[in-house]
Chain A
Amino acid sequence: MKLLTLNFLTCAIKTCKTSPSSFPLHPRDAELEILETDINLPFLKNILPRLMWDELRTITSELGLPELPPAAPTREDLVEPGAQAAEGEEVEEQPSQTAKDLHRVLLETTVKEGKLACGNCGHEYKVMEGVPNFLLPGHLV
């Protein structure tokens, strides 16, 4: 499970959804795996407004990953400066180190095994072979 997925998930228990502490879910006993994928710079630039940055910082620090900067990067931060286009010439933008780091955190760092805990009710959802399991006994009646 990619860390970016956690940006969109919350506790499956209905009464938790209105509580701010049900987001983000907290990884526990996580075994991480890096799965490399191609970087998509337009995606990284466009996703910025959708990232819950403070919560993402919480998750990465709970996982013991390198600390993220206090503020989210800007679109400009993600583009490598330098490659100046000559008059009338289109130069393909290159990802900066910031973009590469963000790509690594959001899309290449995955939870292979572990649990995701709700900060409100304490329920722990298991992640097995990379697949999170959000089924609750109560769902299935």
Chain B
Amino acid sequence: MLPTPSTSHVCFDRVYEPAEDSFLLLDTLSSSSEVAFLQERFSKAQSTPPLILEVGVGSGVVLAFAAVNGNRIFGRQDVLTIGTDINSFACKAAAQTIRTAIVEHGHGASISLDVINGDLASCLRPHSVDVFIFNPPYVPAELPDFARHESYNSLPEGQKKTTFEQDSYLLELSYAGGEDGMVVTDRMLEQIPEILSDDRGVAYVLLCAQNKPEQVKERIRQWYPGWMAEAVGSSGKQAGWEKLQIIRIWKEQA
């Protein structure tokens, strides 16, 4: 077991607390089969450092894990990490989590860029991302009212504390996924072919049973010849409604 980054400084009233889904991502990325796949793709000597993007970093636990275990997972000492979140409080929390993890476990090995307050991957240069990670808001529940986003995304004017309504809104952003829990994920999937690097890009996206994962994978395989989607990790073995899986999305080389 690789160490889980500490998130004890994070206030979980307004930032998603690491849960079963987060840990499934950590376990999947460090599983022997994914490590073999990733090292084959990324550990070639003198190849350029892979850029790892996590969208929706929340507490930062997943991206920090990838950053400090660059050597174990990717077989190299120079992976680059970058994150985004729509919630500005999450951005600050995650930046702190990553900094602390690198000091405690990273031995100065990986390079962490910034955590950007933004929508999905909309600010990334096309075809620049080598490894993409997303644990989306996947619960079938009505999306929050984004009209309030700007006022709720920072501390109320002249105040030092968030309001209760603000915290509820920010937490809704972390789990509510609209119809089938797929509204945000579908928007993200659409961007994936544009942001992944052509030669070695790979994406990991978490889905729950209500997201209709079989249909999602089938749709991805129809994107364009060569696109692949497979489940590479799962939890909640019974056919319960919270069953989670991680799908890997990549393009077969011609």
A residues 1-50 in Cβ contact with B at 8 Å: 1-2, 4-5, 8-12, 14, 17, 23, 37-38, 40, 42-43, 45-47, 49-50
Chain B residues contacting A139 (CB-CB under 8 Å) are 119, 122
Query: In the docked arrangement, what's the CA distance between A139 and B122, Å?
Result: 9
* Number of B residues, CB within 8 Å of A: 36
| Distance in Å: Cβ of B195 to nearest Cβ of chain A | 10
Taking a contact as CB atoms under 8 Å apart, the answer to whether B114 and A46 are in contact is no
In the complex, per-residue mask of B73-117: 1 if CB is within 8 Å of any chain A CB, else 0: 000011010101010100110010000000000001101011111
Asked if A132 is an interface residue, CB under 8 A from chain B, the answer is yes
Q: Is A140 a contact partner of B48 (Cβ separation < 8 A)?
A: no
B222 within 8 A of A: no
- Complex contacts, B122 vs chain A, CB 8 Å: 12, 14, 134, 136, 139
Give CA–CA (A134, B114) in the complex, Å: 13
Contact A40 B114 (CB under 8 A): no
- Once A12-B118, A46-B49 are accepted as A-B contacts, the answer to whether A40 and B123 lie under 8 Å apart by CB is no
Cα distance, A135 to B126, chains bound together (Å)? 18
User: How many angstroms from the CA of A47 to the CA of B150 in the assembled complex?
Assistant: 36
A12 to B82, CA, bound (A): 16
Residue in contact with A40 in the complex, picked from B78, B92, B147, CB distance below 8 Å = B78
A residues within 8 A CB of B51?
Answer: 8
> Cβ of B6 < 8 Å from any Cβ of A?
no
For the complex, give the distance between the alpha carbons of A3 and B177 in Å. 34
| Sample of 10 further A-B pairs with CB below 8 A, known A46-B46, A47-B78, A133-B118 | A8-B125, A9-B125, A12-B118, A37-B108, A40-B78, A40-B109, A132-B117, A133-B116, A135-B117, A140-B149
Q: List chain B positions with a Cβ less than 8 A from chain A.
A: 46-49, 51, 77-78, 80, 82, 84, 86, 88, 91-92, 95, 108-109, 111, 113-119, 122-126, 128, 146-147, 149-150, 153
Closest 3 CB pairs of A and B: A134-B118, A140-B146, A43-B78
